[in-house]
Amino acid sequence: MNILREALVSIAPTQKDREVLTDVKKFLTRLQQELKLRRINAKPVLGGSFAKDTWLAGDYDVDVFVTFDMSYKNDPLSDLLAKALKPWKTERLHGSRDYFQIHGPINYEIIPVLAIKHAKQALNVTDFSPKHVAWVNTKGKKFKNDIRLLKKFCKAHRVYGAESYIRGFSGHVVDILTIYYSGFLKTLKAATKWKDKTELDYNNTYKGKALFTLNTSKTQGPLVLIDPVQPDRNAAAALTKENFDTFIVGAKSFLKKQTIAAFTEKKTDINALLAKKVPVVHITTLNEKEDVAGTKMVKAYDFLKKELSDFGVRDSGWEWDKKKHASLWFALNKKDLPATEQRMGPPKAMTESCAAFKKKYKNAKLVKGRMVAIVKRPITNYKIAIREALKHSYLKDKASSYTASL
């Protein structure tokens, strides 16, 4: 069987999966009734991957946009929506405009937006969301399964998601890329030739000069992907260079040898790492919303990785249940370091600085035109290094607790 067809068998929703749509329609009908009951001129519409029919099998996270008439543009939309959602147990989340979640067999995310007709009417970035759906359904009719393949490919390579603790390829970016290149394989082939600051503009709005036209804050990342619905926005602005590079490496590997493993999401086996004596730091993440807790968890991971750099971090990563527990692991090249190390000082031309350096380090001398001193290392063992790092004040507000398996 063709690898792509084989992958689609497992990732495309089955007929049984699609039975969930009946319950989704009932939810939309009930919400419409609640809005009408409160005389709120708004309409709930299906959004996200369910509206675009690009969702994956077993994924029952449903986006719902509640589109408010423009007459409400100066009103607190989130507060109005909260009134209509009273029959359900909801979680209110803060964002550029507050939105709501309902957790259950089907997870709903309900977002209030204005029913804009033109881009200039938008007061919030979320107001464009229904237009994103319309664009995909118009331009991407032939590429729904290709979008599924690219989405699963990104998930398997751990580069999917625009959350600030991931900063990968968002669902919207996956949609645009697949449609821009006309398919999954064509996207991968194009990606093998990507360079830093690659510019993609579906509507050719900027004639290849987006880098010189957009605000520099929008072009800091490695990929400049002009949003076809919001041309003043780089849809891939959140993407990190690390995830950009990981995607390219994955694309090259798959094109060289197509395997089903490229679409298989795998979790790191923490117990296997522990059995190999790989240092693991277990943390209890903060009791905050996912994006905040996740971001602080990743900051703790980055800090510890930097603190261990002298030991040669040959591989590392993290696993998080998105609730309370995370494991950060660091495979090291060295367990112990020499008792002393070189401390680099100023160049010979900086005479005053050289004198100060010599005063501080009595054994300092010139080596190839620069002052160098031999100093005693404060920590030479990796276990002590990790224990001391976990006491650092920087980590105090990044997690609730830390324990190390060394």
Tell me, yes or no, whether 4 lies in a domain: no
pLDDT at 95: 81
Do 171 and 108 reside in the same domain of the chain? no
Assess if residue 10 is contained within a domain: no
Q: Is residue 203 located within the same domain as residue 292? A: no
Q: Cα(153)–Cα(387) distance, rounded to whole angstroms?
A: 37
Q: Is 3 part of a structural domain of the chain?
A: no
Q: Is residue 392 part of a domain?
A: yes
Report the pLDDT value the prediction gives residue 22, as an integer from 0 to 100: 95
For residues 51 and 120, state if they share a domain: yes
> Phi/psi at 225 (nearest 5 deg)?
-110, 100
Same domain (yes/no): 182, 246: yes
Residues 169 and 193 in one domain: yes
Name the amino acid, one letter, at 58: G
- Token readout for 255 is 């094109």
Same domain, 294 and 395: yes
Q: What are phi and psi of 81, to 5 degrees?
A: -65, -40
Q: Which of 213, 247, 263 is the last residue of a domain?
A: 263
Answer yes or no: do 70 and 153 share one domain: no
CA-wise closest residue to 64 among 91, 17, 36, 101: 101
pLDDT for res 120? 82
Residue 217 CA: distances (Å) to CA of 129, 170, 236: 22, 19, 12
Q: What distance in Å separates the CA atoms of residue 346 and residue 360, rounded to the nearest whole number? A: 13
Q: Is residue 2 included in any domain, yes or no?
A: no
Question: Is 248 found in the same domain as 176?
Answer: yes
Is 133 domain-assigned? no
Model pLDDT, residue 1: 56
Residues 59 and 53: beta-carbon distance below 8 Å? no
pLDDT value, residue 233: 92
Q: How many domains does the chain have?
A: 4
Cα gap 79→63, rounded to integer Å: 19
Specify the CATH number for the domain of residue 95: 3.30.460.10
78 contacts: CB under 8 Å, gap ≥ 6: 92, 97, 98, 99, 100, 112
Q: Does one domain contain both 107 and 92?
A: yes
Mark whether 253 and 315 lie in a shared domain.
no
Does a structural domain hold residue 1? no
Determine the Cα–Cα distance for residues 281 and 332; give it in Å rounded to an integer: 14
Q: Write out the DSSP string of 275-300.
A: HTT--EEEEE--SS-HHHHHHHHHHH
Distance CA 56, CA 154 (A): 13
> In the structure encoding, which two tokens stand for residue 343, read together?
């401390």
Residue 190 and residue 77 share a domain: no
- Rounded to 5 degrees, φ, ψ at 120 are -65, -20
The strand order across the sheet containing 401-405 reads 313-320, 325-332, 280-284, 401-405
Tell me the pLDDT of the chain (406 aa) as tens digits.
Answer: 599 999 999 999 999 999 999 999 999 999 999 999 999 999 999 999 999 999 999 999 999 999 999 999 999 999 999 999 999 999 998 888 999 999 999 999 999 999 998 888 888 888 999 999 999 999 999 999 999 999 999 999 999 998 889 999 999 999 999 999 999 999 999 999 999 999 999 999 999 899 888 888 888 899 999 999 999 999 999 999 999 999 999 999 999 999 999 999 999 999 999 999 999 999 999 988 888 999 999 999 999 999 999 999 999 999 999 889 999 999 999 999 999 999 999 999 999 999 999 999 999 999 999 999 999 999 999 999 999 999 999 999 999 999 999 9
Task: Write out the residue range of the structural domain in which residue 360 sits.
Answer: 340-376
Q: In whole angstroms, what is the distance from residue 223 CA to residue 177 CA?
A: 11
